[in-house]
A and B are shown apart, each in its own frame.
Chain A
């Protein structure tokens, strides 16, 4: 058995023996995917809406009927303005539609409970849509708003989350696990034993990276299978590009892990650095939960240095829009550049440590 093989074997043994960690690492992506895909959704269901009107007309009645028929709404009937206010305050209604007739034309006002902003924004948009289409049907002269949702016609939140979760998981597994495993060898002193043996430092590094790379590939397969089957993301030829861009991202995350391990001297600091410096920004600023476009400009610029931002945006194009890879050349270029830069820095740091 070659030196490299025995290094890899040793690493695999560590992983297999640390059964709990491996279970967490394999189960967590699945749970996250299913959780975000099904249970936690930003889709708006059962918006409880009431109507307030000063005068019943055919038009208002038509709109009310539409709300009643629409599966997304639970229509609470027509109430007085004061009642609507109290229902909203008590949380018994999510939104109220106020009809007012001014100069013979029907005016609409939408009042929503904005204590949950996502809910409020989405339901306001829905209500507007329903009201407009009714108005459209009743009065051909009214300006029609035609909204058409491309790529994700059912507005499934899973489509939004799958790339984000993948962006997060790979940072977690590659950067965090690699750095902690290298640093733990520094802490226990075994790194010194490896370094005084004839094994070249680059072999030691490679022996660390390869097992985690393989583990990441397993997880990638697992996540893609789940996405295309259970979460019903439409399968297309672009999956090839999804795979290789993901592998590029995994390489970047591994390089980051290596860089962290060269800087950190204890497992705790490795965890903190990878957790605080990489995980949190990935969650907050990569566009996984909050769209990057809605952030203030300085934060948008800052988000550019976060690898996951580019990966997630590429994944959206490739997985959800299923466009060819030529549409994500910028992202791929940025990710490649980052990988090379981080790897060069990590190797430089790793060598500098010795002397």
Chain B
């Protein structure tokens, strides 16, 4: 059974189409990533699925309940962690937790086992004001508050935005334990490299779903015409490759360049020709792409 079922959901704000016939489904008990840049419609979709907004067209169901019709019942089944830190800074750690528990009519004690691994560091200072916590601690508290009523589906809207690489990684490390407990997780992010932390992902851009599948299968779909290029002086190489016949796209990729070429592209020949034109130590070899390459390709085709 699918925990989330979205069919042709469209949402407009005046002239702006925030979501354009969005369709995908999330299997129960998976970590599903919604990946796309700011303004792609990730937050709007989250707000529709958490019953804060109604779609203009299309239907969506979470945990088997329609988001528009059964929203009252649905609200007891979902946990939501919005993009910004949304707790009461002038209430203490324990007051925040108890407050959110009481909203759902549950007792903190009854569900503490679920949040215990996340909350452990926080339980050392239950009387500290939430506003005085460090960034990582705030996030742990927010996650605890979103989980305290044992939701079936957890919505995390950009939990790692503005967070450094180490803390981001720590955050992702918390999710598998929740999944083990049967909680379905829909998490959105603008960091493409986080795709590999999800079982399945949907790429979203300008309100449209570009593709949805497992990260591995999506990357396979990239095809074999991707090459990695490097040389002593990268910027001139980038400009030279963009002008080179048969190269469709060329962009920086970490310490190297990635180029997308036509079928008949010969990397060795290209390297030789570029060296003749004055560039030193040009190396071009086939590369294995990742989600970022795919996103660039799909977004380009989409216009």
Contact = CB atoms under 8 A, between A and B. Distances in A.
Contacts of A354: 52-54
B88 interface: yes
Nearest to B47: A192
Given A13-B95, A189-B82, A190-B86, A6 B102 contact: yes
A348 interface: no
A282 B85 CA distance: 38
A194 interface: yes
Interface in B85-127: 85-91, 95, 98-100, 102-105
B32 interface: no
Interface stretch (B71-79, B185-193, B271-279): B71-79
Q: Which of B52, B80, B103 has the most CB of A within 10 A?
A: B103
Interface in A4-45: 6, 10, 13-14, 17-18
A10 B99 CA distance: 7
Interface residues of A, number: 22
Given A190-B87, A190-B88, A193-B80, A3 B105 contact: yes
Interface of B: 47, 50-54, 72, 75-76, 78, 80, 82-91, 95, 98-100, 102-105, 145
Nearest to A203: B103
A299 interface: no
B84 A189 contact: yes
Contacts of A196: 50-52, 75, 78, 80
A17 B80 CA distance: 27
Nearest to B103: A197
Contacts of B87: 190
Contacts of A13: 90-91, 95
A188 B86 contact: yes
Interface in A184-231: 188-190, 192-199
Given A192-B52, A192-B80, A198-B76, A14 B90 contact: yes
Q: Is the interface of A mostly helix, strand, loop or mixed?
A: helix
Q: Which 3 A-B pairs have the closest CB atoms?
A: A189-B86, A6-B102, A197-B103
Contacts of A197: 75, 100, 103-104
B103 A198 contact: yes
B151 to A, nearest CB: 10
Contacts of A2: 102
Residue among A1, A13, A192 facing the most chain B CB atoms (10 A cut-off): A192
B91 A193 contact: no
Contacts of B104: 197-198
Given A195-B52, A198-B76, A18 B103 contact: no
B103 A3 contact: yes
A107 interface: no
Contacts of B54: 354-355
A17 B90 contact: yes
A237 to B, nearest CB: 44
Contacts of A1: 102
B105 to A, nearest CB: 7
Nearest to B83: A189
A355 B72 CA distance: 14
Nearest to B90: A17
A6 B80 CA distance: 20
B84 A188 contact: yes
Nearest to B105: A3
**B75, B88, B102, B104 pick with most chain A CB within 10 angstroms:** B102
A353 B50 CA distance: 15
B95 A194 contact: no
Contacts of B88: 10, 14, 188, 190
A198 B72 contact: yes
Nearest to B76: A198
A15 to B, nearest CB: 10
A146 B88 CA distance: 65
Most chain B C-beta atoms within 10 Å of own C-beta, residue among A3, A18, A188, A196 = A196
Given A189-B85, A192-B50, A196-B78, 18 more contacts: A1-B102, A2-B102, A3-B103, A10-B99, A13-B95, A14-B90, A17-B90, A188-B84, A188-B89, A190-B87, A192-B47, A192-B82, A192-B86, A193-B86, A193-B100, A197-B100, A198-B75, A199-B103
